[in-house]
Amino acid sequence: MDYETFAVRVEALRGRLYRTACLYLGSQSDALEAVDEAVYQALRALKRLRQPEYFDTWLTRILLNECHRELRRRRRFSPAGEDAIPETAGPDAYDGLPLKEAVGRLPEDLQAVIILRFFSGLTQAETAAALDIPQGTAATRQRRALELLRLELREEELS
Amino acid sequence: MNRKEEYEALLLELQQTPAELEHTVERAWKRKKAAGRTRRAWLASCGSIAACFTAFVLLVNLSVPFARACGNVPVLRELAKAVAWSPSLSAAVENDYVQPIGQTQTENGVSATVEYVIVDRKSLHVFYTLEFDDELGDVYADYDYGEIHGWSGDAGSARLESGELNELGIDFVEQDVPDTLELTLRVYARGGDDGAAPAEEIWDGDALFEAPAREAPDYLAELSFRLEFDPCFTAQGQILPIDAEFTLDGQSFTLTEAELYPTHLRLSLHADPDNTAWLAGLDLYLENEHGERFEKSLNGISATGDPDGEGLGTFWLDSPFFSRGQQLTLHITRAKWREKEGPETRLDLAAGTAEYLPEGVRFLGAERYPEGWVVSFAAPYDPVNTMYSPFGSTFRNEAGTTGSISQFSHTFGVEDPATGERTEEDTLFTEEFPLPDLEGTVVYLEPDFDRISNFAPAVAVSIR
C-alpha cells in the first residue's frame, strides 16, 4: 500500500477511530492521542499488512491496543476501587449512570463489542474480526451488554 | 431522557471531532521521518544527549570562569551552548581556545556565517549560523569539504533553525587537519508548513528491504567558504609514550601511547598475538589526582580497529588537555570479547531457535516476507553507547551464499507479542533487521562479541 492510499484509507476511517477511542478513554485529548499513536504505528508497520482488504480491521485493532495500553497505564496510577462494578452485577447497577459512563464501566469484553458495534459502526462480522473472537461470541456479548444498559436497538438504527 | 434518546444524543456528540484529527496522517508521517533520521544516526546515543544537558548545566552553575565568560560575552554564551555536549570542547571555550572566522555568504535570501572554529592537529569543529525566512519550512544543509582525505564526520542533511549556532565536526584518523578547508553549505527546504508529505521523498512503505530512497534536493543556495586555520591551533597536540603492559581477563595488552589534543585524547593498545580473543569493546575512563574524570567519546569516533588484527586498537576519550592535573590513570571497567575461534551465531528461522548468541542477547523471532526475513533480538543497553548492533552487517545461509544487511532498527524495550505492550524499556532494547533474498531457513550471523567481562575494581593503568 502506498502513502496516498494509506492517507485516503485513514481519512475515511479517522472519525470512527476517534469515536472508538473517545468512548474507551472518555476524554477528547486522550482519544486524539490514541488515534495519532495508532496511525503512526500503522504507518510504521504498513509493510507487514499482507492483506490490504483487512486494513480497517487491522487499524482498529491497533487502536484498541493503544486504548488498552492507556487504560492499563491509568490503572497503574489509580487502581480500581469503589468505582468498579462487579462483573456479576445486573442492569440495576447501571441504571443510574449516564449512558457514556455506563458504557465505560461495562466489563471489558462487553464494552469492546458495544463500542465497535453501536458507536463505531462496525458490522457484527467486522466487530468479531477486530476483536479476534467468533461471530457467535460477539452476538452473545452484544445481547448481554444491551441488556445491562437496557438499550433496545434495531439493526437499521445502528450508526 | 430514556436510554434510546441518550444513545442518539451521544452519537451526535461523538460526531463532533476536533480539527486536529484532520492532520493525523501528516503528524504520523512527520514522526516516521524523524524516527528514520534518528534510527540512521543511532550512534549518536541518547546517553550523549543526557550528557550534553548535564555537562552544560554543571559547567554554567559550578565553573566560575566558565559562567563569567558566558555572562560577559553574549556570543560566547551561544558557543558554550553549542559545545555543551562535549566536555573537551567546553574546556576549550572556557580557555579561549577558539579561532574567530566571521565570514558571511548570501544567496537567494539565505545567509550563512561561519563564526568560529575549534581546531587542533587532528580534529576540526566549525560553528556557523544560517539566516532564512521561516516560511521556507524545514531547512537542511548538506556539507562538502572539497578535496580532503582520511576523515570521518558530519556529511550533512541536518535540520537547521534560523539564527541558531550549529556545529559540524570532522576527525582525521591518520592525516593531520589541512592548513585550509574549502567548505560548501548546500541549503535546501522541505515541506513548507502545509503539513503535506514532501514531494521529494519517495514513499517506500516501511522500507524494511529497500535502501532508504532520497532524490537529490533542489538546492536553494550554495554557500562556499575558504577557511584558513591559525597554525598555532593546528600545531596543538602531543604524543605521550607509555609502554605499560596489563592483562584483562587473561588477555595481554600493551598501552603503547596516548595522543593528547585539545579536542580529544587517543589511547593506542597493542594486543598480544597469543591472545585467544579479539578485543571487541572497552568501557574506560581517565582520572587525574584531583578526581577529574575524562570519559569515552560519545559523539564522533569512540574507537578504531587494530591494524594488526580484527579487534579494536585505538580508543577516543575526552581530553584532559586543559586540566590542571599532573597525573593521569586509565581505568577499565568492562571489556567485550570475540573469541578468535568463536562460532558464528546460527538461527533456525523456521523453528525460531538460536545458537551462539552474544552474551545477554536474546532471539525474539523471525517473520517471513516475500522479499526475505526480518529477525529481531532483545539486547541489554550498553552503559555508554546505550544502543548498539550485536552483529556485523553480512549474513550467509547454509549453502554459503552471503547477503548484506542494509539497515538496523532499534526501539526501546521489548514488545509483548500477546498484548502489544512494550516492557523492560529501562533495561533492554529491540534490534530488528531484514535478511533480504535469504534462501532456506537457516542463517549465520557474525556476532560482534561473544562475552563480556566486568572489572570491579577497575583495572588501572598509569599514563603519567
| Segment A37-41 mean pLDDT | 88
pLDDT digits (tens, 9 = 90+) for B322-371: 998 889 999 999 999 999 989 999 999 999 999 999 999 999 999 888 88
| Segment B192-204 mean pLDDT | 40
Chain B contact set for A69 (CB, 8 A)? 420-421
Cβ-Cβ pairs closer than 8 A, A with B, add up to 91
Contact B32 A40 (CB under 8 A): yes
Contact A14 B21 (CB under 8 A): yes
Instruction: Tell whether A71 is within 8 A of chain B (Cβ).
Output: no
Which of A1, A3, A49 is best to mutate for the B interface (most B CBs within 10 A)? A3
**CA nearest to B206 within chain A:** A47
**Residue B45: per-residue pLDDT:** 34
Show the DSSP H helices in B83-217 as ranges. 87-94
Residues B306, B417: contact at Cβ < 8 Å? no
**Residue B253: per-residue pLDDT:** 95
In Å, the largest CA–CA distance within chain B is: 90
Average pLDDT over chain B, rounded to whole?
Answer: 82
**Residue B63: per-residue pLDDT:** 46
| Segment B416-429 mean pLDDT | 77
Nearest CB neighbour to B203, from listed A3, A40, A100? A3
Tell which wins on pLDDT, B215 or A116: A116
What are the residues facing B211 on neighbouring strands?
Answer: none
Q: How far is residue A74's CA from residue A83's CA, in Å, rounded to a whole number?
A: 14
**Picking from A96-100, A128-132, B67-71, which range would have the lowest pLDDT averaged per residue?**
B67-71
| Segment B171-177 mean pLDDT | 90
Residues B446, B391: contact at Cβ < 8 Å? yes
Q: How far is residue B204's CA from residue B29's CA, in Å, rounded to a whole number?
A: 12
Residues B397, B435: contact at Cβ < 8 Å? no
Chain B contact set for A152 (CB, 8 A)? 3-4
- B238-340+454-462 is classed in which CATH architecture? Sandwich (2.60)
For residue A100, give the H/E element and its range.
helix A99-104
Instruction: Tell whether B21 is within 8 A of chain A (Cβ).
Output: yes
Phi and psi dihedrals of A69, rounded to 5?
Answer: -60, -45
Contact B419 A68 (CB under 8 A): yes
- B98-234 is classed in which CATH architecture? Sandwich (2.60)
Shortest distance between the Cα of A132 and any Cα of chain B, in A, equals: 12
Chain A contact set for B15 (CB, 8 A)? 15, 19
Residues B156, B141: contact at Cβ < 8 Å? yes
The answer to whether residue A156 scores a pLDDT higher than 90 is: no
Chain A contact set for B206 (CB, 8 A)? 44-48
**Residue A125: per-residue pLDDT:** 86
Tell which wins on pLDDT, B46 or B244: B244
Instruction: Tell whether A110 is within 8 A of chain B (Cβ).
Output: no
How many Cα atoms are found within 13 Å in the side-chain-facing hemisphere of B229?
Answer: 26
Q: How far is residue B212's CA from residue B403's CA, in Å, rounded to a whole number?
A: 17
Task: Tell me, rounded to whole angstroms, the distance of Cα B357 from its chain centroid.
Answer: 24
Residues A104, A83: contact at Cβ < 8 Å? no
The answer to whether residue B271 scores a pLDDT higher than 70 is: yes
**In which region does residue B460 sit, left (phi positive, over 0), alpha (psi from -120 to 50) or beta (all else)?**
beta
**Residue B36: per-residue pLDDT:** 52
**In which region does residue B413 sit, left (phi positive, over 0), alpha (psi from -120 to 50) or beta (all else)?**
left
Tell me whether domains B98-234 and B238-340+454-462 share a fold. yes
| Segment A64-93 mean pLDDT | 72
Contact B15 A72 (CB under 8 A): no
**Fold topology of A86-159:** Arc Repressor Mutant, subunit A (1.10.10)
In Å, the largest CA–CA distance within chain A is: 50
The answer to whether residue B9 scores a pLDDT higher than 70 is: yes
**CA nearest to B418 within chain A:** A65
**Fold topology of A1-79:** Rna Polymerase Sigma Factor; Chain: A (1.10.1740)
**Residue B177: per-residue pLDDT:** 95
Contact B203 A159 (CB under 8 A): no
Contact B24 A7 (CB under 8 A): no
| Segment A107-134 mean pLDDT | 87
**Residue A83: per-residue pLDDT:** 59
For the record, the C-alpha cell of B308 comes out as 594488526
Tell which wins on pLDDT, A115 or B191: A115
Query: What residue ranges do the domains of chain B occupy?
Result: 31-96, 98-234, 238-340+454-462, 345-452
Q: How far is residue A98's CA from residue B1's CA, in Å, rounded to a whole number?
A: 10
| Segment A143-155 mean pLDDT | 84
Which of A5, A16, A18 is best to mutate for the B interface (most B CBs within 10 A)? A18
Q: How far is residue B159's CA from residue B162's CA, in Å, rounded to a whole number?
A: 10
